[in-house]
Amino acid sequence: MDTLPVSIRLNPFKLKEAEGTPVPWNCWGRILSQRPVFTLDPLFHAGAYYVQDSSSMYVGHVFRSLLSDSTRTVLDLCAAPGGKTTDLAVSLREKFGNGFTLVSNEVMKQRASVLRDNVALWGDPNVIVTSVDPAAFAHLRGGFDIIVADVPCSGEGMFRKDPSAQQQWSEDAVLLCSARQKRIVSDVWPALRPGGILIYSTCTYNEKENDDNLEWIAAELGGSIVNLPNEYSDYGVRKSRAGLLLKAGETLGEGQWVGAVVKDGTPGPDRKDGIAPKIKDFHPLISGVHKGEYKGRDFVPDNDWALSLDFDRTLYPMVELDRQTALEYLHRDSIFLPQAPKGYIVVCYRGLPLGFVKNLGARCNNLLPQRRRILMDIK
């Protein structure tokens, strides 16, 4: 397992430089020479980068190639743990600034909790996290310009990385996954506007879950398959019947397949504001920036506010921590800042906020959420 490639993708709004070999199809991707202990890197907890397989980043490349000035409302349908969501968020922010909405959905509650935390660390205030069945989006008719569906699959592309995936594979599992994928896309299809784009991806190789399904979507739901150019054949990317295939051992990372369909119909007027309609109806896990709440007369800032790209750094004192003290904060140990002013303070590592403490003088109250504390030994 130690010989498998490991890659990260930088958050350019927090960190623009890092060691590693560039990923050809993502300017912020880096392939590392060895796997560090990410849990013990405060920059990881600051949302400076995301650990993501380089093949998985190819979906983001396809997304960027299909972006236009009118594709400002996007749904990442099966989004946990958040790799593709954070990649899409960077692409949208680089193109539109604040003029976009990205809805990141995960139906499984436990996985949705992981997604929520990863989105919070990334810090983009234009990402909304929901946890609903794909069918729930159907009433937002035409609400999305692009839907990215990285659907649950039989996982053939993960066999090298995860031997248990091979043990769980069967022909029946492939047929079950293929049927489930059709159901997922059919349920969400009304939410895609006429002329909008569905980007469909899996981490498996077989045609039943990939080319066959994309052709079924185009024929049965109404659309035209996009002829995606293969710009990276020199890096092992293959052209398949209806999309592009990356296979473990042939390319830089693990397995990935991706294709796209344009929905039939005449597009409406270009959307300029990037606002998806009625998302509030879904009771999102994250929507915008929650700054905090009053407890008596005391306003207690929300820890995630400090991580947001919208955070105003002039509002609270900022205190730089060395690596060991930063890890102690992330471990939720008691830290002492005798030279810092009393009250609420933002603690930082290499200039990036990690969160809030309330400095009482003799000690600090740690506002890091308990569920995010480092559990391993930090010494």
**Strands (DSSP E) along the chain, which ranges?**
6-10, 21-23, 26-32, 49-51, 73-76, 101-105, 127-130, 144-150, 192-202, 223-225, 238-239, 244-246, 256-263, 292-295, 298-301, 318-320, 343-349, 352-359, 364-366
Hey, what's the torsion of the CAs at 104, 110, 111, 116, to 10 degrees? Answer: 40
| 360 C-beta neighbours (distance < 10 Å), count | 12
Task: Please compute Rg for the chain using Cα positions.
Answer: 22
Q: Which entry of 78, 177, 203, 364 is annotated as an active-site residue?
A: 203
Q: Is 203 a catalytic residue?
A: yes
Q: Angle at which helices 109-122 and 83-96 pack, to 10 degrees? A: 40
Contact 198, 223 (CB under 8 A): yes
Question: Are the C-beta atoms of residues 207 and 217 closer than 8 Å to each other?
Answer: no
What residues are labeled active site?
Answer: 203
